[in-house]
A and B are shown apart, each in its own frame.
Chain A
Amino acid sequence: DTGVSQDPRHKITKRGQNVTFRCDPISEHNRLYWYRQTLGQGPEFLTYFQNEAQLEKSRLLSDRFSAERPKGSFSTLEIQRTEQGDSAMYLCASSLKGARELFFGEGSRLTVL
């Protein structure tokens, strides 16, 4: 499979715990994006990387959220001290620099109890 891969697909956690999601982009894609989608809403932009550099973060990304892409390949999104409002689908996408089509993964669904 050469698409965008996300892991885990579903995570259930208790409030206050930390969670980490991983995204593996399409291999030659140097841009990587994180979006969040809550129930009944469209996805909203969180952050994006070009290679290993994080170039923009949305105001939605509070200081409990941190994203990394250490070697310009896979990325991780960590949420510390989870809250019930963090329950959502976290979507990863990738693209080639200069190309304006994003390819999305299957998403990681977070449920905070």
Chain B
Amino acid sequence: KQEVTQIPAALSVPEGENLVLNCSFTDSAIYNLQWFRQDPGKGLTSLLLIQSSQREQTSGRLNASLDKSSGRSTLYIAASQPGDSATYLCATLSGGSNYKLTFGKGTLLTVNP
């Protein structure tokens, strides 16, 4: 059974700092890994999706990497802004279950002005 862990559970940084969020997973047989953003009381906004054959994806100030063999992914946020404050969730779509995402508990990011 896939388990996804996100560290740290919470992170507070000053505006402008670069930061890294970590995600680890136990079963490396995944189709893809997605990073989502969730604002308080809201749904999920997809940020980046990395296919199992890819090493990284970039969108604006966001860069996500994937190392399947070690069961790790990182989300790098450059030049953080207060508007980046949210909970960031990673989720894997595992082999043999091409419809069921397994989520971590998320990292609550606070960017202070």
A-side interface residues toward B, CB under 8 Å? 6, 31, 33, 35, 40-45, 48, 55-56, 89, 91, 95, 100-107, 109
Contacts and interface: CB of A to CB of B under 8 A. Distances in A.
- 5 closest Cβ contacts across the A-B interface? A42-B103, A106-B43, A104-B44, A107-B43, A45-B100
B98 A40 contact: no
Contacts of B49: 101
A42 B106 contact: yes
Given A42-B4, A109-B41, A101 B103 contact: no
Classify chain B: how many residues form its interface, as a range.
Answer: 20 to 34
Contacts, number: 54
Given A43-B44, A43-B91, A89-B43, 9 more contacts: A6-B43, A40-B105, A42-B104, A45-B102, A56-B99, A102-B101, A104-B46, A106-B43, A107-B42
Contacts of A40: 105
Interface in B85-103: 89, 91, 93, 98-103
A50 B104 CA distance: 25
Interface string B62-96: 00000000000000000000000000010101000
Nearest to B93: A100
B99 A48 contact: yes
Identify the interface centre among B31, B89, B101, B103: most chain A CB within 10 Å of its CB.
B101
Given A43-B101, A44-B103, A105 B43 contact: yes
